[in-house]
Each structure stands twice: as C-alpha cells, then as structure tokens.
Amino acid sequence: MAEFKQEAKLNTTSDVVKETEPMSSTPLESVIKSDSDDSSDLPPHERSAVTRVPVTPGIQPSTYSSQANIRSAETPSPSYFNQNGSNVSKESATGPLDVSSPSNLVQGASSDREVLRRMSISLSGRRESITEIKAAAPDLALSGNIISATFTTPHSLKYHKSGNWELGYRRGQSALFDAFSYLSSDETPWNHTVVAWTGEIESLAESLSPSNVIPDTTSNIPGLNHLSAPIPLDGEAPPTPPEVDGLWIPQEHQAKLEQLLSHDKRIKTVPVWLADDTETSDDGIRLNDQGRWRRYAEHTIYPLFHYKQHEPNDGRSERIEWADYFRTNLKFANKIIEIYKPGDIVVIHDYYLLLLPSMLRQRMPNMYISFFLHCPFPSSEFLRCLPRRKEVLEGMLGANLVGFQSYSYSRHFASCCTRILDFPSDSVGVDAYGTRVEVGVFPIGIDVTKVEQMAWSKQVSDMYDALKGLYKDKQIIVGRDRLDSVRGVAQKLMAFERFLELYPEWREKVVLVQVTSPNTIEEGGEEPENKVASRVSELVTRINGTYGSLGFSPVQHYPQYLSPEEYFALLRAADIGLITSVRDGMNTTSLEYVVCQRDTHGPLILSEFSGTAGSLRDAIHINPWDLTDVAHQINNALTMSAEKRQSMQSSLYKHVTTQNVQSWIAKFLRKLVGTLASNKNANVTPLLDRTLMLKQYRQASKRLFMFDYDGTLTPIVRDPQAAVPSERVIQTLKALAADHRNAVWIISGRDQDFLQQHLGHISELGFSAEHGSFIRHPGHDTWENLAEKLDMSWQADVVEIFQKYTDRVPGSFIERKRCALTWHYRQADPEQGLHSSQTLYKELEATVVQKWDVDVMKGKANLEVRPTFINKGEIAKRLINDYNSDIAHIAPSGNDSQGEKDKDGKLEFVLCMGDDFTDEDMFRALNGLSGTQVETDHVFTVTIGASTKVTLAKWHMLEPLDVVEAIALLAGVGLSGEAHEQLSQVNLATVAGLEGHVPQ
C-alpha cells in the first residue's frame, strides 16, 4: 500500500480518479465514469463528478466559481518564501514562466530562494509534487519524508490484559492533529510519520460477567472522581484492593499496539515508550508513575511561558523532574534516529520537546530540523527566572527554523538569545553555532471543511434548535475555556457582573453560557485547578444570587467536557463569543466560532493577550483586566447594527477560511525548505553531547585531557593577572587528575610562573606554557625548555614596533615571555584598540614576518608573536604520541582482562577544549591524528565562546562555566568539586540519560 500511495502522489488528480474507477462500488460510479470524458479539461474541483455530490450543505458549484473569481481579482499571492509579494508582479511583467519541467524553473535563477519562489508561482492552482520540490532544491537531496515529533499520540490508549487495545480520541490540540491528518493524506506529496509518546495508558479491568448480566456490586468499579467514591455503611470502609506496582505490558502486546498505530489510516504513528531501563526488558515493560514524564514541562515551563512564576523552593523535586524531562527528549531523539533517513525533514512541536532539536543536531549535524512552539514565549525578564533557561534556549537553537504563533513571541525569543546567551540576533533570526537559525511567525489555523461539515450536520442542527428554544428571547453569550488560571474565566465572570451592574436594562435578557472543561495541564505552584474552580464557582453563585431570580439564572456554568456536536451547536446558537484569556497561544475556539457564525454574524470579543488577536484584527479586542471596558464592549456587541456585524463577520470568515490548518503547515514547510536552501553551505558546530562524552569516558581505560586556560577554565578579564582559577576549578581538576587512568594537561599561552603559582600545587597536572615553549610533566617539578635552541633575535625588532603602538594607545601594554611577546589592548578604548591592532598586524606581517621565522597570532584583545615551530598543535601531537606508546602512567590493575585489553597502550578518550585562534592548532592536529593514532569517535574537540566563530572543533560550548560543569560530570563531583556532594541538576540529568534511571 505504501508503494501505491507513493506512486499515486506523483500523478495528477485526474489520474487518481481514473485508476480507482474499476474499484468503485458506489452508486456514483456511473456518474464519475460518464463525466470523466466530457469534463477532463476542467480543474478537478469543478468537474461534475465532484460538484454533483452533495457533501457540504450550502456549498454549490457557484460557490467555487465566485471564490475563484475573487481570487483572480485579487493581487497575486506572495512568493514561495519571500514575504514581499511585489516581486511576483515583476516576474509576470517580464514574461510568463516556463513551467513545463522543474529544470526550466532552475534556469536563470540567481539563488535557491528565487527557484523556490518561481515554483510557488508555477504551482498556483494545482498540487505540488515531491519531484518538483526536489528539482527546485537539488542540493538538499530531500527524501520526501516528514517526521513530526509531538509529545503524545493523537489517540488515547486503553489496554486490556488480554492484549487488546482501544484507541480513542485525545482531547486538545485538534488543530495540530488535523495538520497531521492533512500531511498524511494524498493531498500532499509528503510521506508523513508521527513520533509520539503513548501518553498515560489506562488499564481496563476484564469483566468476569457477561455484558448483559448486572453485577452484584459496583465497589470494584473506579469512580469518575473523588466525589463518586463508594460511601461506607455502618462505619465500615469497603475492602481496599491490593496495590499493584505499575502496569505490566508484555512485549507481544507492545508490538501489537505499534502495529496498530503504524497502520492507522489517518495518521501513521511510531510510539515512544517512556520508562526506566530497569523497568524494560525483552519480556515487556512496566509503566510506573506515568505522569512524571510531563511534570517538568507542565509544572515549570508551562506556567512560566504563560507569565506565572512559582515561589522558589529547595529544588529537590525539580532536580528529578528535570532529569525526567531530559530523558524524555533523549528517548525521542533515539527513536527518531532509528527511523531517520538522509534527506528527511523533522518537525518538532511544543514545549515538551524543547531540548530535542539540539539532541538531534548533536547526532546528525546535517539533519533538516524545524521547531514550532504552540504556546506563548515570554520576555527575557521572565525567562531569566527559569533555572534551566540556557539549556532551553540552546536546545531550541538546534533547529534550522523556529516558528511561533505571533510576532511578539518570536521577538521575545530572539531577544532572549541575545540577552541570555549573547548570540547576535535580529527580528528574523539568530546567529548560533556557525550557522543562521531562522525565526518566523506562522499563526495556526483550523480545518474549516471539517468544522463546517460537523457544525451543519443534522444532529448539530437539532441541538441548535433546542438551544434557541431553551433560551428564547434571550441574547446568548458563549464562553468555552479550559479550567486553568491563564484562560481568564474569572475575569470573564467579573466583567459580566460589571456589565449587569452598568446596564440594568439587559438583566434577564442576556445569559452567559460558560463551559469549563477540566484542565489537562498539571500546573504546580500556588493555583492548582481546585483553587481556580472554587473561585469560578464563587463568582457564579454571587452573580446568580445578585442578578438572578427563581425562574432565571444569568450565568449557566457547565464544568464538563462537551461532545463535538454539543460544542458546535453552542457556537452556532451564540449571539456573542467572549474570550478573555490573560495569556494564550493560539485559541482555536475563536476560529471555530467565526466559522459557526457564517450565517448569523455574531460578534467576537477577543482578548488582546490571545495568540489569535494578531490574526483576527476585525474582532472586538479587549483587555480582560479592564472590567469596565469589557462590559462596555459587551453592550457594544449587543447593540451593533446588522450591517456592521455582517461586515465584521465577512472579514473574519474570509481570513479563517483562507488561513486554515492546511495553509499553515504548507507555509511552514515551504519556509523551512527555503531556509535550508539558503543555508546549505553553513558549517554547523553543535553543542557538546555530554551523554555521548560520558559514555565514551566510562568505557575508556586510558584518557588524555588538554585544556586551555584563559577563556576556557576561567573567563576573560580586563586585567590578565586577575584571571585566577576559582576554588571549584581547582577542586574539580584535582578530582579529575586523581584518577590514575586520566592524564590532565593545561596547555596555555601563559608563562611558567603564572601556571606554577596558581595550579602548580596539583602535582598530577601536566603543563605547557607559552604555547608549547615549556612543558612540565605530571609528578615532576622541573620544566623542559623546548625552544632553547631557537634564535630569539627577532624579539628586539618586535619590541620596538610594540612600543611604538603602546605609546599611541593608552591602556595597552607589552607582556614579555621567554619565547613570545604579546601586545594587550584589553584595557584600551575598544574602538581605538581594535583599529590599532589591525594596523599593527599589517605592519608586523610586512616587516618582522618577512625577516624572521615567526608567526603573528590574533588573540582576544591581543596580538602575539612567537616562533613558527612553537604552537599548541605541536604539543598536542607530542602528547598523543607519548601517551599512545607509554603506559607507565597507568597504575597496575588487579583485573587481568583489563590489563590484557590495554597492553597496546592506545588512548581511548581524548578531550581537548580551547577558546581562541591559538587553540585551533590543537584542533587541526587532532583532526589529522583521528582515525590513525586515535579512533575518530574517541576524540572530542570543543571550542568555547562566541557562537558565530568558524572553528575546526567538532563541538561547541558557551562559556567557561560549562567547561567546569563538563569536567565535574566526568569526575563525578558536585558544585564544590567534592565527591561526596550531589551532582548538579544538569549533570544529574546527563547521568540519568546514560544510565536509564535517576541515580539516588
């Protein structure tokens, strides 16, 4: 079937209809067959085989024609990737495009963006094929596969001990699941797969009695909530069933579910099983405390992203929750890597998977990754309150494209990257890890066709008539919200109370029907669901008691789930839609309300804090905190003229029906392909994969560490003599060097005296001073001069030139080393120092370099001149050769098998970290030795500092604090460097990700 689908996607719509004719067994077969000949030249949607079928009430052939005429009269649609639609008209002015083949679109194009823009024009009015997309961006080598990663599957799962599974409808995120259905259908050229967690699996007890036999007791049936629990009689409680430790699912039953989900007709899904490694075996899986995998996202990230900050705590529970959150993202990454093929596009959704883009980038640097956040993104002032703010931002920046619901959210994200990570950014992107991460705004839509079909079904129409009869002669204000503090239900009720107070003439003429569905988000902190529910109930009681009567209650509150039929009947019956969110992502209720009001034109009152406010500009916008203004706007909506209501509804309806969920996902993917095409030559240096590093470290019995000093172990400071190591750095290095399997070296441009003074008391450390001029081996007190035979006469010429520029630039000074000379301008005026350094560099290159065998090295706010044959790369080569052949530094082991394994003395783990240009010599040397003297997978070269630097290192870290954290991870020590102290939160998560459980 997969092969048939792939083949069918490459054909035109008419070909598909013709191929499926012989299989048709419906009464329409003869109609399709008779019309296939006389209407073959018409567009597919206008053929009689389609237009004669009554699908949607009220939609006739003339509807399509009128819409087509409207579209043709409008300005041309924006280009495929360019937001400036004016370029389209320029294209048509110069002459029509030759779209007979994809290769013609490539001819004469100045860039990949131009090719994709032309493709967008050529595809107007017809479905694109994957062949055309591949031809437009041939360098991307797209496979045609899309992998969508979302937290939970589109199905809710119920498990029978017999091995049977019940797949139900999962509430929430209907727009996202509709987008998945669209991508999985034959309407798109992509092959689509969803990777998602199973969600909390409900275990169903097997009934021992036939279905038609009434049981003797209901005590064994679980209550729907705590209020429906059995009431004990005579003071005796019912027997408590024995506690079962988790839900056990045999492996064959897991395979059965995976088979069901992978062959689902609507959405093909690959499930992710979340459990500790100790709870997983070849026989099956035991699911304990299934809700823990969502706790950090819902307790910490969700409230903060909605501008709610918890009280600070001791962090003990947060440590465990963060470790589970990290492991969740890690398991998703592992599952995606299992099914990934080169050329696949990965689309990641929402705040549960913020770390996933970076984890995938670490494993597949050239993977095509996009991320879309469906909820708000806070300003930097709020994000700073998140302890793991840096990890969250670094995780998101692993994507090629990051999408948001509104412009303010994208602006906040770019601002946070600059203010917190110090990454250069603008309104459309962030420069990170050697490449450009594009940032875009893509307001989500709904499946309008599906909504209209459901909203005007006979069952809904009957319910609509019943509602209108129930509230006859009343104006109906409708609200449907989730019961959490960010939906603004309390603000809505207080505003309605204020309305009844200010406009007494509307009393007993207006009813507010408020439906509050239970909250699916486990918010922690001060306002759990029961507090919000209590507040809402209190307000409802007060309003009904003040303004109601025995025969009428102005507020009808229904704390329950609605069936889709009830929900759409309520939206159709409404005279006003009222949404008062205090902070929200994309509120699809407002979009569905607009569709349901296509005939009755009920005004929409929408909070300006909702994600849809920017899209639905013709709605009545309100500030939910301004109760009096909301009351005035309710009266305004009730007294609005029919002409104004119709004009408002017409504009809103046009927007919702054109910017639907299909348009949303298509635009997002087009932008992604355009981003990939424009950045295809970027050299990405991903974040250091600490889990991979820790795994290789533990497997190795012989390890070599090479650390730069300034900018790596300590931050860069204005006064070089003030860059002293912290106590944590000293204790962590001590712990690392104490392991007899580790050889730890500090390779710095500093002189011998400085290194000896601050780190020389750690006898297990090896030192290389002045970029390799002097070395001191671990356990020795004497320094070896590697440059004593070199001619140093060049220093006089350099000092003369350095002194000239020192006199010119106040704050600059000369540092004299035995084998090198350095001119520093850290304390000088930044602009003058930089300009003078550039002039000085040119002068040195034109004079001293031509005369002597020396190199001029650009450092951080300094220039250094040294002999050509002295550099950190030569020291790195020397250490690799020495430790590969010398095993004397390894203490004897009582394990004979381990000794047999190490008899060849090969290094099995090499970690090299540095921050500036001089450290690139080490990276270059190690890259040359990888695969020959050391296994490539055993070498970790890491550059520290600016995200935009071009480097030869394989990995990247942000700052010296991250370096110390990584060393502490390998040494197994805490924040103070002591082994008895617990690991930091970040390192605990890394260890948990490797070991498969949170260590105690």
Task: Evaluate whether 912 touches 943 at the Cβ level (below 8 Å).
Answer: no
Predicted local distance difference test score (pLDDT) of residue 890:
43
- Which region among 208-212, 730-734, 913-917 has the lowest average model confidence (pLDDT)? 208-212
pLDDT at 90 over 60: no
CA torsion, ordered 267, 268, 274, 279, to nearest 10 deg: 130
- For residues 906 and 884, the answer to whether their CB atoms sit within 8 Å is yes
Q: Is the pLDDT of residue 680 over 50?
A: yes
What residues are paired with 760 via a beta bridge?
A: none
pLDDT tens, 920-945? 989 999 999 988 889 999 999 999 98
Q: What CA–CA distance (Å, rounded) separates 30 from 48?
A: 12
Higher pLDDT, 286 or 109: 286
- What pLDDT, on the 0 to 100 scale, is given for residue 77? 38
For 644-647, the CB contacts below 8 A with 24+ separation are 645/601, 645/602, 645/603, 646/601
Q: What is the pLDDT of residue 522?
A: 61
- The alpha carbons of the chain give a radius of gyration, in whole angstroms, of 34
b/e per residue 160-172 (b: at least 16 CB within 10 A): eeeeebebeebee
Sequence-separated contacts (24+) of 885-888 with Cβ below 8 Å: 887/702
pLDDT at 500: 94
Count how many Cα atoms sit within 13 Å of the Cα of residue 408 in the half-sphere of its side chain.
16
Q: What is the DSSP string of 361-399?
A: HHH-TT-EEEEE--S----HHHHTT-TTHHHHHHHHTTS
Strand boundaries in 790-917, DSSP class E: 813-816, 821-824, 854-859, 862-867, 909-914
On the question of pLDDT at 947 being above 80, the answer is no
pLDDT band at 450 (very low <50, low <70, confident <90, very high): very high
Q: How confident is the model at residue 261 (pLDDT cuts 50, 70, 90)?
A: very high
Contact yes or no for 431/948 (Cβ under 8 A): yes
Residue 205 has pLDDT above 80, yes or no: no
pLDDT in the model for residue 502: 95
Residue 962, classed as helix, strand or coil, is helix
Position 32 pLDDT exceeds 70: no
Strands (DSSP E) contained in 527-628 are 555-558, 576-579, 604-607, 620-622
Residue 731 has pLDDT above 90, yes or no: yes
Task: Please indicate whether residue 917 or residue 24 has the higher confidence score (pLDDT).
Answer: 917
Supply the pLDDT for residue 895.
Answer: 45
Query: Which residues make beta-bridge pairs with 482?
Result: 517
> What is the predicted pLDDT for the residue at 529?
56
What pLDDT is recorded for position 491? 93
Comparison of pLDDT for 81 and 694, the residue scoring more: 694
Determine how β-strand 862-867 pairs with β-strand 620-622: unpaired
14: three-class secondary structure by DSSP: helix
**CA 2 to CA 18: how far, in whole Å?**
19
Q: pLDDT by residue (tens digit) across 278-328?
A: 999 999 999 999 999 999 999 999 999 988 887 777 778 889 999 999 999
pLDDT in tens, 358-402: 999 999 999 999 999 999 999 999 999 999 999 999 999 999 999
The DSSP secondary structure of 683-732, one letter per residue, reads ---PBP-HHHHHHHHHH-SSEEEEE-SBTTTB---SSGGG-PPPHHHHHH
pLDDT score at 523 = 56
- In terms of DSSP bridges, do strands 269-272 and 191-197 run parallel, antiparallel, or are they unpaired? parallel
pLDDT at 475: 94
The residue with tokens 């006979």 is: 458
Express each pLDDT in 466-495 by its tens digit.
999 999 889 999 999 888 878 889 999 999
Q: Which residues fall within 8 angstroms of residue 800, CB to CB, at 6 or more apart?
A: none
The candidate with the shortest Cα–Cα distance to 301, out of 329, 320, 316, 321, is: 321
pLDDT digits (tens, 9 = 90+) for 495-519: 999 999 999 999 999 999 999 987 7
115-155 residue pLDDT tens: 555 555 545 445 667 788 887 788 898 999 999 999 999 99
Q: Please report the pLDDT score of residue 610 as a whole number.
A: 87
Q: How many CB atoms lie within 10 A of CB 299?
A: 20
Task: Find, among 639, 378, 345, 646, the residue nearest to 510 by Cα.
Answer: 639
Phi/psi of residue 942, nearest 5 degrees:
-130, 125
pLDDT for 669 equals 93
Model confidence band, residue 95 (pLDDT cutoffs 50, 70, 90): very low
What backbone torsions phi and psi does residue 473 show, to the nearest 5 degrees? Answer: 65, 20
Beta strands in 789-927 (DSSP E): 813-816, 821-824, 854-859, 862-867, 909-914
Contact in structure between 762 and 737 (CB atoms under 8 Å): yes
- Geometric angle at alpha carbon 958, from 953 and 963, rounded to 5°: 80
290 alpha-carbon distance from chain centroid: 22
Q: Report percent pLDDT > 70 for the chain.
A: 80
Most confidently modeled range among 545-559, 575-589, 694-708, 823-837 = 694-708
Report the chain's mean pLDDT, rounded to a whole number. 82
**Of 114 and 36, which is predicted with more confidence?**
114
- pLDDT score of 321: 94
Contacts 24+ apart (CB under 8 A), 634-637: 634/477, 634/495, 634/496, 634/499, 634/576, 634/578, 634/605, 635/499, 635/502, 635/503, 635/506, 637/576, 637/603, 637/605
Question: Any idea how long the chain is?
Answer: 1000
Contact predicate 447/665, CB 8 Å: no
CA-angle at 589, arms to 500 and 510, nearest 5° = 20
Residue 733: pLDDT over 80 = yes
pLDDT (0 to 100) of residue 206? 58
For residue range 969-983, list pLDDT tens digits in order: 999 998 877 777 788
* Statement: residue 55 has pLDDT above 60: no
Give 40's contacts (C-beta < 8 A, 6+ positions apart).
14
Percent pLDDT > 90 in the chain is 55
Q: What is the pLDDT of residue 61?
A: 44
Q: What is the pLDDT of residue 215?
A: 56
**In this predicted structure, what is the pLDDT of residue 745?**
96
User: Which pLDDT value is given to residue 777?
Assistant: 93
Query: Does residue 905 or residue 45 have the better pLDDT?
Result: 905
Task: Give the Cα separation of 146 and 344 in Å (integer).
Answer: 6
Q: Using 50, 70 and 90 to split pLDDT, how confident is the model at 218? A: low
Which tokens in the block code for residue 91?
């294209």
198-207, 233-242, 737-746: range with highest mean pLDDT: 737-746
* Tens digits of residue pLDDT in 153-186: 999 999 999 999 999 888 878 899 999 999 999 8
User: pLDDT digit string (tens) for 559-584?
Assistant: 888 889 999 999 999 999 999 998 88
Cross-strand bridge partners of residue 511: 476
Predicted TM-score (pTM) of this structure = 0.79
> What's the pLDDT score for residue 221?
53
pLDDT at 649 over 60: yes
Q: Are 955 and 684 in contact (CB under 8 A)?
A: no
- pLDDT of the residue at 268: 95
